[in-house]
Structure 1
Amino acid sequence: MPRQLAGLHDAIEAQVRAKPDLTLNELRVWLHQTHGAAASLGLMWNTLARLGLTLKKRRSTLPSRPAPTLRERAKSGAACSST
């Protein structure tokens, strides 16, 4: 049985390399708009796996960094008051 998107493998690979942040749905929309081909999420996933491609997402936020939880550190030997 021939692969449904076999004729579009080069175009799909080029698009993923040009825009690695695409989601599977965005890739499906692009495929439909530019090539008139409809593909399910499973078909897109399997096609990318067959081509050895993955979609890499960028972090939406900066990585967190450790921050002190207290404004001032207690001085050594200082008594704490519970007022």
Structure 2
Amino acid sequence: MEQLGFDLQNEAVLQTLTKDVVKTSEIEGEKLDNDQVRSSIARWLGIEIGGLRPSDRNVDGIVEMMFDATQNYNDSTCSVSYCE
């Protein structure tokens, strides 16, 4: 991926994370809008994308939980436990 341009690399990460969140939510019986998920993830990653539908707070919450679970899983100071 290092050989890909920065924009192309960001797009690949954004597509992968969007699919992951949407498919995981489908398994749980939750149908999420792709554009809202993409918009929320782009905001989390600091990627500017124009023309996307703003995400609602439910989508933002799911995306936040995904980022927290995948980035802070080993943080002993984290006050949220997803296993309880």
Same fold (TM over 0.5): no
Larger Rg: 1 or 2?
A: 1
The structure whose residues are more often helix, as a share, is 2
- Larger relative contact order (CA 8 Å, sep ≥ 6): 1
TM-score for the superposition, normalised by structure 1: 0.28
TM-score after normalising by structure 2? 0.28
